[in-house]
């Protein structure tokens, strides 16, 4: 049977992608941030999943004001890299996992999560930057990917409660899939950041660190945090963090912390990164 073996949370700052693409990761500005991912890059070499379900948001790159699904799942064989205005990032296209993705779509929709099914999708920095942070610059991404897009850019966003429950439903669905697959769930975005308006540049590291503590130990408390608190305390784009709740919900009640990292600032963003594994013996 398929099994969820780990969850990864990471910011997906577009400037981080640009630093990798322009070989500037050793610059004084960037080096301390990339050092926090050195552990992760070696960890994933021995813990590489067959499939990574990457929970991310499209930043009105492929979707737009015309169409903005609340939750959408990519079931295609592959996904091209989206042109976000400067040409697509020079990274490999993303190989899908259509059989598991189709199973997930069926299971989750019948479990009352009304996912939009995407037979075509181009993925933006929200999905490709986490791949680059974990895998560096390979010719081909080492794992298959199921993109799970969440609307966090346009009101109304899904509630934290809905996100945590979706994670739990993903766990049930994966465990029902009749193939021995090592599956990880990645939650992307965050942490505190605001990229426009009078409070542009807002970063709230103590709030971010408390969010991480709670995500690890008491995610059920976090699920009731209102969107307004994310926006007030973590900036208007800080609400991307609801996507981490989906990852956490997929790991079961108790988790072990394998790696934890914070860095401030990267572009306008407080960078946060976690590797968590389901606690042994936890059902
Ligand atoms: C920035 C961060 C993001 O997560 C994003 O999607 C866009 C911009 C930033 O810090 O500039
Ligand atoms: Fe973002």
Whether residue 12 has its Cβ less than 6 Å from ligand 1: yes
Q: Which residues pair with 187 in a beta bridge?
A: 9, 55
CA of 64 to the centre of ligand 1 (A): 17
Whether residue 14 has its Cβ less than 6 Å from ligand 1: yes
pTM of the entire predicted model: 0.98
pLDDT of residue 282: 62
Nearest protein Cα to ligand 1, atom 2: 13
Whether residue 269 has its Cβ less than 6 Å from ligand 1: yes
Residue 283 pLDDT > 80, yes or no?
no
- Residue 90 has phi, psi (to 5 degrees) of -80, 65
Q: Is the dihedral of CA 53, 59, 61, 64 positive or negative?
A: positive
Whether residue 49 has its Cβ less than 6 Å from ligand 1: no
The fold of the 3-278 domain, in CATH, is Protocatechuate 4,5-dioxygenase; Chain B (3.40.830)
* 125 is a catalytic site residue: yes
Nearest protein Cα to ligand 1, atom 3: 13
Q: How does pLDDT run across 198-207, given as a tens digit for each residue? A: 999 999 999 9
And the tokens for 58?
Answer: 């499209």
Residues in CB range of 129: below 8 A, 6 or more apart: 12, 13, 14, 16, 17, 188
Q: How does pLDDT run across 136-184, given as a tens digit for each residue? A: 999 999 999 999 999 999 999 999 999 999 999 999 999 999 999 999 9
Nearest protein Cα to ligand 1, atom 9: 268
And the tokens for 47?
Answer: 């813990």
* 193 is a catalytic site residue: yes
Residues in CB range of 144: below 8 A, 6 or more apart: 50, 51, 52, 95, 96, 97
Residue 23 pLDDT > 80, yes or no?
yes
pLDDT band for position 281 (50/70/90)? confident
Whether residue 273 has its Cβ less than 6 Å from ligand 1: no
Share of the chain above pLDDT 70, in %: 99
Q: In which residue are the tokens 């930043």 written?
A: 59
Domain boundaries, the chain: 3-278
Calpha distance 201→63 (Å, rounded)? 25
- Among candidate residues 12, 59, 125, 263, the one labeled active-site is 125
CA of 80 to the centre of ligand 1 (A): 21
CA of 12 to the centre of ligand 2 (A): 6
Residue 33 pLDDT > 80, yes or no?
yes
Whether residue 188 has its Cβ less than 6 Å from ligand 1: no
Share of the chain above pLDDT 90, in %: 98
Pocket test for ligand 1, best of 57, 195, 239 (most atoms within 8 A of CB): 195
Q: Which atom of ligand 1 is nearest to the CA of 15?
A: 11
């Amino acid at each position: 049977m398929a099994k969820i073996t780990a969850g990864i949370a990471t910011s997906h700052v577009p400037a981080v992608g640009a630093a990798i693409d322009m070989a500037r990761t050793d610059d004084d500005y960037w080096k301390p941030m990339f050092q926090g991912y050195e552990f992760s890059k070696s960890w994933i070499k021995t813990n590489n999943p067959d499939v990574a379900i990457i929970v991310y948001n499209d930043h009105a790159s492929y979707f737009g004001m015309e169409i903005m699904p609340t939750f959408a799942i990519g079931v295609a064989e592959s996904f091209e890299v989206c042109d976000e205005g400067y040409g697509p990032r020079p990274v490999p296209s993303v190989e899908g996992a259509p059989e598991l993705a189709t199973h997930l779509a069926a299971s989750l929709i019948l479990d009352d999560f009304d996912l939009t099914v995407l037979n075509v999708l181009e993925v933006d920095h929200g999905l490709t930057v986490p791949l680059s942070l974990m895998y560096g610059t390979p010719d081909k991404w080492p794992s298959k990917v199921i993109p799970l897009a969440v609307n966090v850019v346009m009101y109304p966003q899904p509630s934290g409660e809905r996100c945590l429950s979706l994670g739990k439903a993903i766990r049930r669905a994966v465990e029902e899939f009749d193939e021995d697959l090592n599956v990880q769930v990645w939650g992307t975005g965050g942490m505190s950041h605001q990229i426009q308006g009078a409070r542009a540049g807002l970063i709230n590291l103590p709030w971010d660190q408390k969010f991480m503590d709670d995500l690890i130990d008491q995610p059920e408390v976090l699920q009731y945090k209102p969107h307004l608190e994310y926006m007030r305390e973590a900036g208007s784009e800080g609400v991307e963090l609801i996507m981490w709740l989906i990852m956490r919900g997929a790991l079961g009640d108790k988790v072990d912390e394998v790696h934890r990292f914070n860095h401030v600032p990267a572009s306008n963003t407080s960078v946060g990164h976690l590797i968590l594994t389901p606690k042994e013996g936890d059902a």
